[in-house]
Structure 1
């Protein structure tokens, strides 16, 4: 309930063109400890309410110029004053006039000539109702804010669980693949050097034999011609070199997988950002190639010298993967859209730029494409959970929401998106060193 101290701080505006009525009412109001404000017409009342903000208004109906009904309408039409309770004062006893006043927003009527005791009783009642209403509204707002925060925390927790499960599953998968790949790679790589040595020895033997026995047996000469010995001797070292390059490629892929999905969820470690970006590009290399209806995507890296940063490498790599993969998807959509033929004829490029601000102790990664871009209404929602512009089955709407959480919540960094429809999209990530 409303305490006496609260009740005594109330301000009441009296609006009446009769000075005697104002005098009597103000004395009665001040006798209750309230502060009385006065106006003699509707226009001055509206001006005074703008800066005085009374808790209740006693408003005379019959006034020259702006009457009480019109004054009430204007106050109820103003968002600042519409919730102030208004009690009409009138000598009219016509029920129609009273109903009219109540319909336009008044809470009560006091009939002239009035009794002070009745006026005070009605004022106390409506001040208490008004105070109770404001209190309830405030509690509803507070409760709504609490529920909103709880919902946001729940969504963040869900994202964390999804991210943790995603990275855990990926880490297990990579560990298994790495184990299975590394053994045969090591076996083949270890034997390649011996094969190279054996082949060189055999070729030396053949050369020596041809020098010592320039006139071979006809059957041997026929076989030499059949197998094209000169071409074989020239091509075999090239084949071995190609095999070694393929083994090196497999080693790079295996290393990229381990770099991409490092199992460091529990603690931060020092990490070189460029290693993470390069490992991500290695894993996406097959998607960057010419896809028939879509030309290849050129990746331009403009790396500055960066110090290692303390972070969760696996999670940052997930961010790079999400952003770059989305850029590739945008190019795929661009070239499926025959309406934008002029844009489709341009060189597809993804430009990755890194920089370091020694003074602010931060590093920045800018990933920019020249694909479709986004309209403003999409750009404002891209970091919201479950928001996606992709067809059903092709996108969950979690990639960029998780990326935002990783950068902002996990690393105390910033991630911003700048995009222009039909021109391209740029993501700027800023991380503390």
Structure 2
């Protein structure tokens, strides 16, 4: 599925000016931002945002990556064991415990996040996810609806006292009613304007959210069991699907064909709760109800690692690869979060303190956008636990304000923003400014 559109240089220049204005507002330079607004006259308004800094950092990272392409290709040739001698990653490349010692963290911990916007469903809100560029976030509910929200508009509503009340400035830009049962998972395409959702109606729906007038899926995948989780291949043409069944499905989104692993002995013995593709596309991971984790070869779909009883035999809640594809962050119903080194299958860090009892809900653990921190809700205290991802030090708790259990959390891939979903029917968007240097 592709959408081949040619970008206009004029539109790119307008977007650049919008980013400059948003960055100036974000950094507190209001007079300079106002001067530029009077010249450029952007429409719609520009919210405070650190997006320009994020883009600049990514550009520097890409420039550095071009100079060491041969070394990186050599590293990718063996996804399980990272060879020595590779250069230390830049600050935006995420966690890498092999090279990092004393790292100066310049991103805010969880306690610095504040609720900026709240939206509601008619039933408990169960899942959420951000687009690859952090511009959109979607929420899914037991009422079978999916809301698509514009992050910039939420920031305008939450930070501007004179925010417009017009319909075109409302953060909820679209609501989908294409499913007929509870929404269980939402994932965005890695670089295009598509969004996939899974539900208890045994359907996976793929939407093109750039089509403003359409509220129907552009592709529907039918399974025989309720959908538990989905994950896009980094190339965007394949979708990994976990349903209430031990066998993973891999769908080709161009023609809808479905593939499963060839060796029956490699499949899970209980149904799969969570799946995730590694950013390099060479691996994917799955976790099941029996508490086992499997690492699969992304090309052959052969199981290459088994981690049995990863969370003391308790069901796996989530599996998340790090940006460099070398670590796997997992959460289990034992209320523990663990960081695994892929090359050795070792749990090199365990993040503790998120409750002394077993969890009753399946809630994921996530990295923040820089992978400096790990976030995981404390089910009993309805607060958010935060740890340093590198040493497991527990930071201050963030009260999540939800009046009932938090069911899901997703963090923006590009800025200090996150969305939490709860049994109180609400989804809360949280935002924090970066720490001062």
Q: Which has the higher helix share?
A: 1
TM-score, normalized by the shorter chain, greater than 0.5: no
TM-score bucket of the superposed structures, by smaller chain:
under 0.3
TM normalised by structure 1 equals 0.22
Q: Which has the higher strand share?
A: 2
> Taking CA–CA contacts closer than 8 Å with sequence separation of 6 or more, which of the two structures ends up with the larger relative contact order?
2
> Larger Rg: 1 or 2?
1
